Structure 1
């Protein structure tokens, strides 16, 4: 399975962080994980050079018109002046992104790159994420867009949008997971020294401060839980291991992760099942047992609910890429 080409749309003064995210995830040829790997191309209005944040100078491989030649187009965060001071988005960028979508490309925005997708008409009637600080502005400028300022990213099939800053990493890893499977995405995350997975529906930020220290013991607890997913892990079991009452544990868990313990466990078990299907020859019922999802019937139910495919179809689609 080939993940195809990824075209990164670049204009002057774009923040470096989101540019670097896309380059780091898709750029290095990780052919030991999947062969072929992505073909990353930088596209700019002036390929000879683009002025980056803090005066950095970057060359591009192609002009913006070449966005339409790619399977996936990524629009990183816009220059701050475009979202804070009303500087117009370059019309050639909007036109190039619209042309790429018309040509059948999958369109991905990171952070405020969503403003470009909205200006191109690609988000009308769709739910979309952006940085929470600029969500109200996006909704005001584009009232047909269903702006969600709470989630990390939104996958709407051919159009994907992320929240701000590090949420772009989550979305890029999600794209790898969609294209090449959970095992490959997890390995990329490991090499980047990152958590393997944060679900798109997780909150962008937590209203209650997460403790600066690990006195609550959640870090070691979560690691222990991921090593024991095949065991009957309940809230009471986790709370006792954390040395808390169940009520206190649930509250502190939600403060730290913006989800419930049982939902977090279910997500981890689905991820484990995906990895086992990709990397082993275990029968479906054994995958269900080792991931903690139970019977083969229960595994199929969760795969249908979360992934829209059967475990067998998932293995058939991704096994060859691991």
Structure 2
């Protein structure tokens, strides 16, 4: 424990990867060992055993009434039911700080708790969690956390929590949370799909270890794009090489047709971005080839 803990009692609702990492990271800032509650008592006990510095709570009500900082770390679809459950017994006028860690939702989903007197916010860690709490606590240092508060005071409290975690707070307005989450999913989830499709096509081309072959290229492209943005683009679309793109389309149609729609969609998106950046318009034949449905 720290000499002057920031909170009297920290409570964590949930027993998954994020819940475990948060409980471990926040433990030094709680005068008492963090309380952890989950619908499965077995899961809660397993989480507490892994964390080593938390206590399983038998009842969610006991956790809520005892805590002045409460983290709701459950699946997106489970947040609203948990909020309704807490609101049913939360004493009006109590003022804990309650936040959830979903990327999808802002603070509005916590309105029943805000109405009961709690300060509420969304605090979304922009990182992946693998189930190794000790490593994830270290990785939180310097990580970005998207915060959305129900009030100026709640936003300030959210910033304080992020500071305690060693992270950097980035404020996202309530109405922008869906766009924010869509952008993250587009970057991370669709990247996985893109690499999987490329590896599949390389396998069809006779490559025994497609991921090893493509890894240096993809890593360099990722680093360059993060540093230079769209200016990192290279390849035949940038050069306007319609014959090369035509060869790609023919090969995909013949040998890997399941990848063809994704290739066309990404190529069209790339051309659109090139035009927005002021590059010369592509040839009409290239546009036609990429728009074909055959």
Instruction: Identify whether the pair has TM-score above 0.5, normalized to the shorter chain.
Output: no
Does 1 or 2 have the higher relative contact order (CA < 8 Å, sep 6+)? 1
Bigger radius of gyration: 2
Given the two structures, how large is their TM-score scaled by the length of structure 2? 0.39
Given the two structures, how large is their TM-score scaled by the length of structure 1? 0.36
Larger helix proportion, structure 1 or 2?
2
